[in-house]
Amino acid sequence: MAEVSFFEKTFKLNKHGTNVKTEIMAGITTFMTMSYILAVNPAILSESGMNYGAVFSATIIASVIAMVLMAFYANLPFGLSAGMGLNAFFTYTVVGQMGKSWEFALTAVFLEGIIFILLSFFGVREAIFNAIPTTLKKAVSVGIGLFIAEIGLSNANIIVKAEPALALGNLKSLEALIFFFALIVMLVLTARQVKGALLWGILVSTILSLILGFTKFPDSNIISLPPSVSPIAFKLDFSNVFSLEMFSVLFSFLFVDIFDTLGTLTGVATKAKMLDEDGNLPEASKALMADAVGTTFGALLGTSTITTFVESSSGVAEGGRTGLTALSTAGCFVIAAFFFPVFSIIPAAATSAALVTVGLFMLSTVVEINFEDITEAFPAFMTILMMPLAYSIADGIAFGIMSFAAIKLLTGKGKEVSWVIYLLSIVFLIWYII
């Protein structure tokens, strides 16, 4: 009973109408729904030249740090890990398109974390969030969804580079078979509201891959010590920290993370009925601090931005209401660290299917965009269109902001635009024409 009293004292379970069993089960449920990140994040970041195993361990450590802080500091039931979209921006835009090193990208993530700690401390993140028009907030989510889906299709060679642009790959290959099998499993299980649908899809398709001989069993034991983070830890590069390119990358990280985190917190908290009479989350500043600290430590260890996962809603649906849910999820991540050999045999086709499915989930906000008003629709359209076509989240955000400011100003609606948007538009315009 001593343990129960400790949990009660720490997390105020009775006040929130919950108990230890409910919270732990909710935490396990959250882990089941977000654990795909342990396969997907190393797969994405390793394409930037980073060590796969080291990224796996760094992702777990950073996630655990953030969730422990979420548990004991904020006392909220939210799971955190490396954010989807942000890891894609890290690899495919900063490293791939801009030609920067992964050390440069990690430095940007580190600076983002430091800035977020300061902004969260002074309550500025909420103010920044409010300055950005709702249309662009919704469009960013949709655009990132299409971008992630495009990456998934490309990584599985379902879509390949061709003249003049893209074309279908070899749909008769084993890789394609595994991809579509994984995708079907994920979609069917999601439709049936099975917890951990993405994880189950990855695991089942990995088994199929082993049966077909596309991948092989690990040479070592299934259980092992986690890989060392030494190949990627503390590898920051501050040589270009004051460059315009660093500003552009840093802003993109900040922009996407602000909307991702605040949007997720609001959505999940609404579902859990945790908002006050004014529609605010009482401990929002503490929750934001948790992901800011997680991002900072994550960059030092060697992983991309840590953010609150929308999959936390699954744990909330199971009754999770306090930090004990987050702590339970963190405990599951610790256990998973010792099963790296299992994660290392997962084929790219399986994780690619997860990317496409996550992309689908992110499209839901498109119905909230006002397409009847051209001054709202066009900036949203440019944001959504440019992300997959330019293969860059940053370019999508920039074109969305510039087009919003321009069309509003030219149609006599300039007063609807915040000075922040005008300032950013000028910065982006200078960036593209110089």
Q: Which residue has the higher pLDDT, 297 or 22?
A: 297
Average pLDDT score over residue span 112-119? 90
Write the Ramachandran bin of 49: left for phi over 0, alpha for psi from -120 to 50, otherwise beta: left
pLDDT digits (tens, 9 = 90+) for 356-365: 887 888 788 7
Share of the chain above pLDDT 70, in %: 92
CB 359, CB 198: distance < 8 Å: no
pLDDT digits (tens, 9 = 90+) for 45-68: 999 999 999 999 999 999 999 999
Tokens of 17: 């109408």
Q: With 50 as the cut, is the pLDDT of residue 1 above it?
A: no
Q: With 70 as the cut, is the pLDDT of residue 262 above it?
A: no
Neighbouring-strand partners of residue 80: 308
Average pLDDT score over residue span 116-135? 75
For 197-227, give one letter per residue: b (16+ CB within 10 A) or e: bbbbbbbbbbebbeeeebbeeeeeeeeeebb
Average pLDDT score over residue span 31-40? 84
pLDDT band at 111 (very low <50, low <70, confident <90, very high): very high
Q: With 60 as the cut, is the pLDDT of residue 199 above it?
A: yes
pLDDT band at 88 (very low <50, low <70, confident <90, very high): confident
Least confident of 30-44, 127-141, 331-345: 127-141
CB 383, CB 400: distance < 8 Å: yes
Domain count for the chain, please give it. 1
Average pLDDT score over residue span 173-183? 93
pLDDT digits (tens, 9 = 90+) for 238-253: 888 888 888 888 887 8
Q: What is the DSSP string of 178-244?
A: HHHHHHHHHHHHHHTT-TTHHHHHHHHHHHHHHHTTSS---SS-SS-PPPPSTTTTT----TTTTSH
Residues 6 or more apart whose Cβ sits within 8 Å of residue 178: 205, 208, 209, 212, 214, 347, 349, 350
Mean pLDDT of the chain, nearest integer: 86
- In terms of residue numbers, what domain contains 153? 2-433
Say what the pLDDT of residue 329 is. Answer: 95
User: Is this prediction's pTM over 0.85?
Assistant: no
Alpha helices in 80-212 (DSSP H): 86-88, 102-121, 124-131, 134-155, 174-191, 197-211
Average pLDDT score over residue span 333-352? 86
